[in-house]
Amino acid sequence: MSHPTSSPTWTRPRPDAGRRRPYPPIEPYATGMLDVGDGQSVYYEECGNPDGLPAVFLHGGPGGGCSPWHRRCFDPARYRIVLTDQRGCGRSRPPAWAPEADLSANTTWHLVADLELLRTHLGISSWLVFGGSWGSALALAYAERHPEHVLALVLRGIFTLRARELDWYYEGAGADMIYPDQWEAFVAAAGPDVAPGGYIRRYHELLGDPDPAVHGPAARAWTTWEAATSTLLRDQNHIDEVQDPAFATAFARIENHFFIHRGWMEDGQLIAGADVLAAHRIPGTIVQGRYDIPCPMGTAWALHRAWPQAELVVTPASGHALSEPETLSALLEATDRMARLGPPTPAGPAPAS
């Protein structure tokens, strides 16, 4: 699948694309906790066909965690589906909501190393990597560092932690003009004397306070801003789901921690590094909602320019969320197509040193 860099592919979904439904619910055939060092253990599970094409699902946030319906993005007859909760969130331990939580060993590159450790632990030589939102950033970081272990990428709602992306959404440089009502609540929760360009830092102070009376309202305001702006049409159920104090605290703390440190990357590093994907001829599909507010389409466009082997699918009546019908349908079609790659040769034991 190759396209000239001067003319990025823009594939429109089929007219019936919104009618696709996720695969039926399934349960894991194996679960575990993997010790990744630094006092951290990450949860993982395997579903579907143990002899199928290995695929790892990378959740968003960072800090969002996996849910049972994420298993349903893959044909369980053809995929060996691996889900994992990244450090500090979901079922991984210790949780970031705990007062004593230390996030110093929770960085992009720790998470990349965790994925590589998990791949080796499961005896997988290479796998399809599926990630949306923050999961797309982690997928790119992993694939650019370990391209030899990536069969293909399926990405959604592209996010690369560039300064302009963070400023657009969290610092009053654009998204506030589209959702001024929700932005007003986000600003109010930050407290007085904060100007555009200072919100991520102010929330860092609030979220780091051990007093629940301080970090609790800040966490809910942070997660509500994201939930309220992630779908083209308001989804009150999604907004309600993120009000749980433990979830909101872990999610907001981890996200803010990553954002204040700019992902421990140079600005634009993931876009520039896409030449590695092109050099290794890694196929991919980028699914992008036209009206994605948290992760505007310009980033997906830039990534496709840098990685022309990838197909760009623009869902014309969608926002950011994985659950939106057009986007979900396009992702299901992508994983169905990628299943034809077939399972790789098992990795086997590591050679003796």
Angle CA(221)–CA(224)–CA(228) in degrees, nearest 5?
145
Closest to 313 (Cα-Cα) out of 296, 295, 329? 329
Beta-bridge partner residues of 315? 289
> What whole-number distance in Å separates Cα of residue 54 and Cα of residue 150?
10
Of 70, 114, 126, 133, catalytic: 133
Element (H, E) at 229: helix 212-229
> What whole-number distance in Å separates Cα of residue 182 and Cα of residue 180?
6
Contacts of 321 (CB under 8 A, 6+ apart): 230, 231, 235, 238, 289, 327
Beta-carbon-side half-sphere exposure of residue 138 (alpha carbons within 13 Å): 32
> What whole-number distance in Å separates Cα of residue 54 and Cα of residue 127?
5
> What whole-number distance in Å separates Cα of residue 107 and Cα of residue 261?
9
State CA 75 to chain mean position distance.
Answer: 20
230 labelled catalytic: no
> What whole-number distance in Å separates Cα of residue 156 and Cα of residue 154?
7
> What whole-number distance in Å separates Cα of residue 283 and Cα of residue 291?
25
Beta-bridge partner residues of 284? 153, 310
323 labelled catalytic: no
Of 75, 292, 304, 318, catalytic: 292
292 labelled catalytic: yes
Catalytic residue positions, numbered: 133, 292, 320
